[in-house]
Amino acid sequence: MPSVFEQLVELTKELLVDAVMSNMTSLFDMVNSKVSSVAADVGAPPSRFAPAVFSMVRNLSETVIMPIAGIILTYIACYELIHLVIAHNNLANFESWIFFKWLIKTFIAVEMITHCFDISLAIFDVAQHVVDRSAGVIAAGTAIDASALATMRSTLEAMGFVELFGLWLEIFIVKLGLSVMSMIIFLVVYGRMIEIYLVISLAPIPMSTFGNKEQSQIGQNYIRSLLALGFQGFLIMVCIGIYAALITSVTFSSDIAGSLWGAMGYTVLLCFALFKTSSVTKSVFQAR
């Protein structure tokens, strides 16, 4: 007949097995829920992601930034007219068609500054279409197969008390790490949207530089920055697809601790890749 101590150890072991199984089942819920919501957050255009913030940014841009852009546009238009006039031997070889050229360039510049928000949102609409199409191709499911977790119980029951306790401590540490990873994913996605709002709030100023060939480099770089921010969402979706393929390949066999740390490593890799998406898109579009 087993002693009271042996019965107590056996009961504690059963409790540890249940605790390990419960923690393993819910271990990746934080990251999985965050990852599954990334597609919806990344795919949302600025006007829909946070309508109140977008309305405030647009109001600030039109009331505070637009007058400054108007002054810049006036200066560039005057500079361009003077440059066109003196370019013809200081009126010695004067041709009236240069005024029509100046009027057309100024008209285009005024239209761009007037519809700067529409132009910016159109760029994000194109990127939104790409993200939506990629969401239908890339598998974003990151949940670990429940049947793989169920086969662990027999392995856990064969372990000793010390091994089970050590595994429970490892799961606790990994869970803390995954909480941090989940927060990092949140920061990357929402940080990108905040950067988008900051960039489009200044849209009138770079758009006002298209009236002059030299100064238009500012506006061209601004357009490239919008393209980089828009297509960063596509790269985020690619990262999620890679993570989903890696995490679903994890098999919790006899080496449960190794599989556990392997899944943790994939999550760290996901966070690192998400941070790199910004620099990669800026490098591709040559945005400074």
Share of the chain above pLDDT 90, in %: 8
Output the pLDDT for position 59: 92
- What does the alpha-carbon distance between residue 138 and residue 237 come to, in Å, rounded to a whole number? 7
- DSSP class of residue 248 equals T
Say whether pTM exceeds 0.75. Answer: yes
Beta-carbon neighbour count of residue 234 at 10 Å? Answer: 21
- What does the alpha-carbon distance between residue 185 and residue 236 come to, in Å, rounded to a whole number? 10
- What does the alpha-carbon distance between residue 67 and residue 64 come to, in Å, rounded to a whole number? 6
Please, are residues 234 and 131 in contact by the beta-carbon 8 Å criterion?
yes
| pLDDT interval class at 25 (50, 70, 90) | low
| pLDDT interval class at 4 (50, 70, 90) | low
Output the pLDDT for position 107: 85
Output the pLDDT for position 197: 92
CA distances from 109 to 114, 119, 180, 202 (A): 9, 13, 47, 16
Q: Which residue has the higher pLDDT, 219 or 143?
A: 219
Is 1 a residue whose pLDDT tops 50? no
Query: Which tokens in the block code for residue 212?
Result: 């002059």
Is 141 a residue whose pLDDT tops 60? no
Per-residue model confidence as pLDDT tens digits over 233-250: 888 888 888 887 777 776
Is 29 a residue whose pLDDT tops 80? no
Count Cβ atoms within 10 A of the Cβ of residue 261 and give its class: 0-12 exposed, 13-18 middle, 19 or more buried: middle
